[in-house]
């Protein structure tokens, strides 16, 4: 699709090592992996429904009982 072969990937890897340093590569990989995992988890879970009553609704019920 983009025509990335082995020489291009090696050049990209060398540039990344020069920019970030070899000691930070594991940290970057871990962070990217966690971000992808969290994104997949959040997109596959059903949405949670908040059923807690709001404070305004409780205040209105108190006013109606007094009247």
Per-residue pLDDT of 8-45, as tens digits, reads 989 988 998 899 888 888 898 899 999 999 998 888 77
User: What are the DSSP calls for 27-56, one per residue?
Assistant: HHHHHHHHHHHHHHHHHHSPPP---PPPHH
CA 66 to centroid of chain Cα atoms: 48
CA–CA separation, 27 vs 64, rounded Å? Answer: 58
pTM of the model: 0.47
């Amino acid at each position: 699709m983009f025509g990335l072969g082995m020489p291009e990937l090696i050049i990209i890897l060398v540039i990344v090592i020069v920019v970030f340093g070899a000691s930070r590569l594991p940290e970057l990989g871990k962070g990217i992996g966690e971000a992808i995992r969290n994104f997949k988890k959040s997109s596959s879970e059903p949405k949670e429904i908040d059923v807690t009553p709001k404070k305004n609704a409780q205040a209105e019920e108190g006013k109606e009982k007094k009247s």
